[in-house]
Amino acid sequence: MLALLELATQDRSRVAASKPEPELLTILQELSRLEWQWMSVIHSENDIPLYVAQRLVACILKAEIDTNHEGMIALSDLIVEDPSYPTDVAIEHIRGMSAMRGPYQFNLAQAPEQMHGTWEGSLGPLSPMNEERLWAAIERELGGFDADGRLRMHCQNWDGSHIVCNQGSAHRFALWWRLQQHISDLNDGRIRSLPATVWPISLRESSMDVLRSRFRLILFRHSDEIERAAGSSIAREAGFLYIRPWHGDGYDSDPAALFLPYPWCIDYDAECSRTLVDLHRRVDNLFDLGRYFVERAANYTTSQ
């Protein structure tokens, strides 16, 4: 974050030409002093990031607050649904289930088992006969196969995770998935991929550029004090945009959101720039939607 301060203040001629803005400075100082409470937005194992992000975007846009704001325009175009295509998906690339009771919707390795079987004559946790019974139960109950017998899936293109679009049998599928991960290579019955129809979901690069370099979209627990300061006309003129929790007074379940401009995006005087950098430091521990996607994509790229 020190780099932010350098970028915000290195252009001396720009800073010198900027007129002092005492009212904005007062607001920035107040925001830097207030308590910002972290709020869980996407659980790493219990939530499908794609679905949570779609809901977040839809709820923020539904607020219809300054739809001409650059951040709102970028958000409206962020998630791109590309045409589906048939392919074979490697078992290890399947990460989650669209419908699952209980936790671990995005971590099949941890989903609890819910099928009784016999262990006699087993090359893995189930005998071949019971493994066939397990798959037959999945085919009956999953509800995720198309007319060609292919499994319907979403793919998060930014991290390569595939999500099965199921209606039931999530825990049985998770058990079957684990069997394929751990059965010895000597077992001819191991299944390495499944025929699927995949709907890829991408992030629009131009929208991500806005969230990376012009505005942070941070989410946190609502505060009347923060709303008064960040939602003031002076703050809004400077590029701030505060969005209240989308279920009215349901502050415990839904976060508030704020488009927070980066210091280099607006022609502040030097003191305002330094105070805005302090504010960015202050909120650095909060959930940042753009940063979340950047980190997920970076981890995926380095693992390839």
The sheet that has 215-220: what strands, in order across it? 241-243, 256-261, 215-220, 287-288
Confidence band of 25 (pLDDT split at 50, 70, 90): very high
**Residue, of 100 and 78, whose pLDDT is higher:** 78
- State percent of the chain over pLDDT 90: 51
**Residue 127 confidence (pLDDT):** 66
- Cα–Cα dist 161/140, whole Å: 25
Over pLDDT 70: what percentage of the chain? 81
Residues 167-176 have a mean pLDDT of: 88
> pLDDT tens across 28-82, in order?
999 999 999 999 899 988 999 999 999 999 999 888 788 899 999 999 999 999 9
Looking at residue 241, what is its pLDDT? 95
Q: Looking up tokens 């609890």, which residue turns up?
A: 112
Q: What is the mean pLDDT of residues 147-156?
A: 93
User: Sign (positive/negative) of CA torsion 177, 182, 187, 188?
Assistant: positive
Mean pLDDT estimate for the chain: 83
Is the pLDDT score of 136 beyond 60? yes
For the cut 90, the answer to whether the pLDDT of residue 291 exceeds it is yes
Strands 287-288 and 215-220: antiparallel
pLDDT of residue 180: 81
pLDDT at 140: 87
What pLDDT score does 266 carry? Answer: 75
User: What does the alpha-carbon distance between residue 151 and residue 144 come to, in Å, rounded to a whole number?
Assistant: 6
| Measured distance CA(122)–CA(131) in Å, rounded | 10
Going from N- to C-terminal start, the domains of the chain cover 2-43+208-303, 81-203
Q: How does residue 252 score in pLDDT terms, banded at 50, 70 and 90?
A: low
CA distances from 112 to 139, 151, 200, 255 (A): 19, 22, 28, 30
